[in-house]
Amino acid sequence: MNFIMPHLPVLQVAIPLIAAPICVLFTFGGHRKVAWLFTLAVSWVCFLIAGALLSRVLLDTDISYAIGNWPPPFGIEYRVDPINAFVLLIISGISAIALPFARLSVEKEIETDRHILFYTSYLLCLTGLLGVTITGDAFNIFVFLEISSLSTYVLIATGVRQDRRALTAAYNYLILGTIGATFFVIGIGLLYMVTGTLNIADLAERLQPLSDNRVVHAGFAFIVIGMGLKLALFPMHVWLPNAYTYAPSLVTVFLAATSTKVSVYVLLRFLFTVFGPSYDFVNLTFEFVLLPLAIVAMFAGSITAIFQTNAKRLFAYSSVAQLGYMMLGVALSNIPGLMATILHIFNHALMKGALFMALGCVMYRLGTVSLGSMKGLGRSMPWTMGALILGGLSLIGVPGTVGFISKWHLILGTLEAGFWPIAILIVASSLLAVIYIWKIVEVAYLEKEINQEKTLKEAPISMLAPLWVLVILNFYFGIDADLTTWVARNVAETFLGGES
């Protein structure tokens, strides 16, 4: 054990990375179930490692791991502090919960001869997301970002068996995602030009005297835009609805819960660790770019969601709105606001994970998630729809759910910043969420059942169990928010600590 412990940071990424090519080997003999079990096992190992890392950074100090013993800032450094340990836990945790759900869902939605390759891509995607989060090297972020993005495009395209539009969704995401990533790498290049370093901690130090440098400003702008594209910040969200709608259910669950969150994390990392609100141009960005865009996102996302007829697309647009909340917290750049963002990274993963998983169950039985086909479904699939409603309540932000915790902090943040009209806007946009959730309630419970012959059964237990685990977590962390708020406060204080 003592031998492994110091190497946990690298193992976190190396294990899924090595596992991916191994997984391909199962093609010989076509062991689909083995491939799934293998992926499941890898996910759980990652989850345990992330748990160990988080507990270590929370109880002890930050971990710095030099890859290949090349000391930072020359070599690549993996750096674990509370915020990214927290994000690592979210990614691997969602993966660990989603994979038990995956087997039947994948069996149903993806062509049989592609399963093993699907799991391989999934492992690569996991690697990429974990890598982006853990690394302390700016260029390394780009590399892992592309690993995760490329595998994501593949994963989305596997939805082609359900709907051919998965292909165009993947293609559009590929174009926009690549532009985003390239913008990001241009930004990194510009920063490297003036500082000569790629290490994030080192960058932060060397940028201090350069706050008036035009190249730094340009680099900053490229990074914000690049990450804005990746995290679907309104109006750069156009790739997201189709990608979420036509991807296989498992992929939607995983992406909605993790991938945009990772981009939010990277943005946070650059905004606060590398630059920080003490720079004028960062503050201006907060006030005149992120704040208005976040508010528009909250409303545009929610209002568009109301008019959707496909449940997955509805929640995809709701994700755009929720990302608006996260960006709003960033833009406030005070402790409660930033706490709200960090909490919402976690909380939104829980609720969207649960919601898309419930839709995955619907997909498994019905083969479609259009609202028109879900009429009266509350009676034939009570557990699935019950979970959907509870997840929806959490999305609205009903007290007792995680959604409430993040909104509460967000409102506190706006009031502390003196923007009380924005507090009212937050509340108003929550009311829009009530409308689109209630649209589903009415369809599911008050419409005449289509399935009169009772041929439709509840989803199998192996899908319901992970779904309900997430639903229960939604409520558990809504009532016992000690751990999450503690981490969030810790992180927010570190991020804003350099300000004074």
Partner 1 sequence: MVDALISHYNYWLIIILMMLGLYVVVSRGNLVKKIVGLNIFQTSVFLLYISLGKVSGGTAPILTGKPEAFSNPLPHVLILTAIVVGIATTALGLALVVRIRESYGTIEEDDILISERSQDASDINGSSA
Partner 2 sequence: MSNQSILILSILIPLIGGIGISLLHRAPNLREACTLISSIVLAFVVYSLLPKILSGETVNITFREILPGLALQFNVEPLGMLFACTASGLWIINSLYSIGYMRGNQEENQTRFYIYFTIAISSSMGIAFAGNMFTLFIFYEILTLSTYPLVAHKQNSEAKSGARIYLGLLIGTSVGFQLVAIIWTYLITGTLDFTPEGILNGKIDPTLLPILLALYMFGIGKAALMPFHLWLPSAMVAPTPVSALLHAVAVVKAGVFTVLKVVIYIFGIEFLSETGASTWLIWAASFTLLAASIVAITKDNLKARLAYSTISQLSYIVLGAALASSIGILGGGLHIATHAIGKITLFMCAGAIYVATHKTEISDMTGLGRKMPFTYAAFTIGSLSIIGLPPFAGTWSKWYLALAAADTQTWMVIGVYMLSSLLNVWYLLSIVAKGFFAPPSETSDPSTGTIKEAPLLCVLPPCLTAVGCIALFFFADRIVELLRPIVN
> Which of the choices partner 1, partner 2, none does residue 189 contact, using the CB cut-off of 5 to 8 A by kind?
partner 1
| 265, 227 Cβ separation under 8 angstroms | no
Q: Does 415 bind partner 2 (CB under 8 A)?
A: yes
> Which of the choices partner 1, partner 2, none does residue 235 contact, using the CB cut-off of 5 to 8 A by kind?
none
Helix (H, G, I), strand (E, B) or coil at 139: helix
Rounded Cα–Cα distance for residues 43 and 129 (Å): 13
C-beta of 192 vs 476, nearer to partner 2 = 476
Please choose, from the candidates 498, 172, 183, the residue with its C-alpha nearest in 3D space to the C-alpha of residue 333.
498
Helix (H, G, I), strand (E, B) or coil at 367: coil
Q: Does 240 bind partner 1 (CB under 8 A)?
A: no
- The CB-side HSE value for 140 (13 A sphere, CA atoms) comes to 22
C-beta of 188 vs 351, nearer to partner 2 = 351
Segment contacting partner 1 by CB under 8 A, of 90-98, 259-267, 363-371, 383-391: 363-371
Q: Does 111 bind partner 1 (CB under 8 A)?
A: no
Residue 197 is which amino acid?
T
Q: Does 163 bind partner 1 (CB under 8 A)?
A: yes
The tokens describing 392, both together, are 């929806």
Residue 79 is which amino acid?
R
Binding to partner 2 in span 441-460, by CB under 8 A? 442, 445-446
Task: State the binding string over 413-452 for partner 1 (x if CB under 8 A, else -).
Answer: ----------------------------------------
Q: List helix spans (H) across 278-419.
A: 280-285, 291-306, 311-332, 335-366, 377-380, 382-396, 402-416
| 389, 437 Cβ separation under 8 angstroms | yes
The tokens describing 153, both together, are 């495009």
| 335, 409 Cβ separation under 8 angstroms | no
Rounded Cα–Cα distance for residues 255 and 246 (Å): 12
Q: Does 193 bind partner 2 (CB under 8 A)?
A: no
> Which of the choices partner 2, partner 1, none does residue 168 contact, using the CB cut-off of 5 to 8 A by kind?
partner 1
Does residue 16 have a cis bond before it (omega within 30 degrees)? no
Q: Position of tokens 């993040």?
A: 406
User: Site for partner 1 (CB under 8 A): which residue of 112, 309, 452, 462?
Assistant: 309
Q: Does 192 bind partner 1 (CB under 8 A)?
A: yes
Q: Does 493 bind partner 2 (CB under 8 A)?
A: no
The tokens describing 433, both together, are 């969420």
Nearest distance, CB of residue 126 and partner 1, angstroms: 17
Q: Does 44 bind partner 2 (CB under 8 A)?
A: no
User: Site for partner 1 (CB under 8 A): which residue of 165, 214, 379, 457?
Assistant: 165
Residues lying near partner 2 in the complex (CB under 8 A): 393, 398-400, 405, 408, 411-412, 415, 423-424, 427-428, 430-431, 434, 438, 442, 445-446, 478-481, 485
Residues lying near partner 1 in the complex (CB under 8 A): 139, 142-143, 146, 150, 153-154, 157, 160, 163-165, 167-168, 170-171, 174-175, 178-179, 182, 185-186, 189, 192-193, 309-310, 367-368, 370, 372-373
